[in-house]
A and B are shown apart, each in its own frame.
Chain A
Amino acid sequence: MYKVVKREQLTENVVLMEVEAPLVAKKCLPGQFIILRVNEQGERIPLTVAGYDREKGTVRIIYQIVGKTTQILSELKEGEAILDFVGPLGTPSHTEGIKKAAVIGGGLGCAIAYPQAKALFDKGADVTMIAGFRSKDFVILEDEMKKASNKLYIMSDDGSYGEHGLVTNKLEELLKAGEVFDTVIAIGPLIMMKFVCQLTKKYNVKTIVSMNPIMIDGTGMCGGCRLTVDGKTKFACVDGPDFDGHLVDFDEAIRRSRMYSSKEREAMEKHKCRLEGMNSGK
């Protein structure tokens, strides 16, 4: 059992948790992830390591409530425990040699992009961070990102916070203005990463993306997380989750991410019904 020592609601449906998992905390590096199972009937889901405290033996996760598992997870209180929590998994991000980077986070992707930005910044790299959100209510980690970058741009789709526009608008503006990045790191919805890559290809800037396909084991055993990168089959859980964005087949990845979507909606509906049933029964 892995105890939740801290639980914080970042926005209406984004939650931060610190979980006691000493083995993971001792070893994890930016770019790696964990897989957890909340309870015996639960699914195994992957979440990125969004921070850690090696001394306290805790790991931070930040997740968006999108379906049943993240919903149940969010219902845990401080002091309660997660049944299974395994990691660190995946290959850590390669940050060596990066001197000037643009780190781009799309919505919740900021939670994954933030530790990468921080690792680069702590190593002395020049970090420009571009964080995009749907609107003001969805903004997360603003202070943290500010502290981990030389320059932070916040964008919102509706203009309710920061600048009006998409992350790609800002990136293009900077590139056009002659900013030279040796690397762009883009983490967010598949569609955002796809468009960032289209743009950076035009400007010939190396781009790293963090892929998040459906996973079960996270150790290279099921092949469920496979992607096509440079025409070859790769397993995101062991070969990634970071890949050269210019080589990833995004359309395939987008298609594969919908494999179980109807079933998942069903599970969430059932869970909601049960909750409502319980509440009304009181």
Chain B
Amino acid sequence: MANKNMAPKKTPMPEQKPDVRNKNFSEVALGYTEEMALNEAARCLGCKNRPCVSGCPVNVQIPDFITLVAEGKYSEAYKKITETNSLPAVCGRVCPQESQCEGKCVRGIKGEPVAIGRLERFCADYSMKKAEDSGEKAKPNGHKVAVIGAGPAGLTCAGDLARKGYDVTVFEAFHKAGGVLIYGIPEFRLPKAIVQKEIDKLIKAGVKMELNVVAGRAVQVDELLESGFEAVFVGTGAGLPAFLNIEGESLNGVFSANEYLTRNNLMKAFDPNYDTPIFEAKKVAVVGGGNVAMDAARTAKRLGAEVYIVYRRSEEEMPARAEEIHHAKEEGINFNLLCNPVRILGNKDGWVEGIECVRMELGEPDASGRRRPVEKQGSNFVIDVDAVIMAIGTSPNPIIKDTTKGLETNKHGCIVACEDTGKTSKDRVYAGGDAVTGAATVILAMGAGKKAAEAIDKAIMNKAE
């Protein structure tokens, strides 16, 4: 084997310059060249106890694929990844690696961990360019399964079942498949062409896509079960936006991040050839500290606004991927940390004029272990803005729950499902992803789709015997 690379830092990834990219929607991170990938792969020590693998929710065989990269066997490396992860081009780009695989890497103890995500992306992009994944159809086994929602959870479940020979139909409410990957995560972080290629692969593998179908309205879960589908997987995500319920939230110029991002990503409002309008703000406050907040902020910046993040805890508690926070700062987004909105101010015509905030300090840790922010009395101040974007969380949409008898949900509206199988309280109905966990991550949603596919396969095969 080649010599180990003992450099303490990751091989840097080429990127568009901050003051260039904050004006366009092309991808920020440009990906490793072969040479860079080889250099980075040589940093992996091939640890016997594989701590990194335990950090990956779908158990990508990390040292094995990295060894293949180091040997220049990129296609084999890609195949190794896809044994357990069906969307590596996506995961390599959007997984919060620092708290998953890379968070467990031993190289991270002294210095930076191996850039597992970047290597995963490299393998996926390499194979995509070569159009290697033929997505051949499996032999039909004569069983039908329906999947509701074409996000990462639904797509993974559909893909796995199709590869086992199932006749799978995906019902999706929007006019495009992909879920958050299409409508939420912006082009500059996850090019839509990549998502589309993954979806085309599934279609090639035999998955049928029924777009423009809102399950619960156009077709009910029970109807699907009665019409020949032997099982139904519900992967409808957590799309219902939360608001703060503070004064001024109904002023013109206040948006949910979902609305703002959907206009821009799904409906392509940034492209003058598309008809959907988007509010052209001059100064925007984005409330929140997660990936959604970063995406909304960086989108507003690209549309020409001066942007202020308003987050009530400190940077340490920010749930966004470390890389996105870093990129947002580089791009000139202003961070107002330990800062909580109190009300939104409007002018006499009802348009946003400013946001009043109060400064916070960190108190005792709460149940989640994060230190609870408490208000500093009398520290109120106003940021002058003409738009406010709320990115403070989402919960599952109630349409499926309200139209499906016997489907149990918890007090947050999340579908109650077994963690290992996705089985719900209703016979033959499985669920996974954000619809079950509340807003989480792409890879967790995929993991849930995968487990459910296995459980569905087992249940149907047992019955068939």
Chain A residues proximal to chain B, CB less than 8 Å? 23-24, 27, 37, 41-44, 68-69, 83-89, 216-224, 226, 228, 233, 238, 249, 252, 255-256, 258-260, 263-264, 267
Contact = CB atoms under 8 A, between A and B. Distances in A.
Nearest to B218: A23
Contacts of B213: 23, 86
Nearest to B210: A23
A252 B350 contact: yes
B60 to A, nearest CB: 31
A220 B397 contact: yes
B256 interface: yes
Contacts of A68: 275
Q: Which of B243, B258, B268 has the most CB of A within 10 A?
A: B258
B250 A219 contact: no
B398 A220 contact: yes
B267 A216 contact: yes
B217 interface: yes
Contacts of A267: 275, 277
A24 B218 contact: yes
Given A42-B275, A86-B213, A87-B214, A216 B263 contact: yes
Given A41-B275, A43-B276, A252-B350, A86 B173 contact: yes
Given A216-B267, A223-B241, 14 more contacts: A24-B218, A27-B217, A42-B274, A43-B276, A84-B175, A89-B214, A217-B173, A222-B241, A222-B256, A222-B259, A223-B256, A223-B259, A224-B256, A260-B277
B25 interface: no
Contacts of B255: 223-224
Secondary structure at the B interface, as helix, strand, loop or mixed, is loop
A29 B154 CA distance: 29
Contacts of B314: none
B249 interface: yes
A238 B399 contact: yes
Nearest to A224: B259
Contact of A223 (B243, B274, B275, B398): B243
Nearest to B256: A223
Contacts of B19: none
B273 A41 contact: yes
Q: Which of A24, A42, A217, A218 has the most CB of B within 10 A?
A: A217
B212 interface: yes
Q: For the complex of A and B, list the 6 residue pairs with the smallest distance between their C-beta atoms, beginning with the closest.
A: A222-B259, A221-B239, A223-B256, A263-B277, A86-B212, A84-B175
B399 A43 contact: no
Contacts of B211: 84
Contacts of A216: 259, 262-263, 267, 276
28 contacts: A27-B219, A41-B268, A43-B276, A43-B277, A68-B275, A83-B175, A86-B213, A86-B214, A87-B217, A217-B239, A219-B173, A220-B239, A220-B398, A221-B239, A221-B240, A222-B259, A223-B243, A226-B250, A252-B250, A255-B349, A255-B350, A256-B250, A256-B252, A258-B252, A259-B253, A263-B277, A267-B275, A267-B277
Contacts of A87: 214, 217-218
A85 B212 CA distance: 7
A64 B243 CA distance: 33
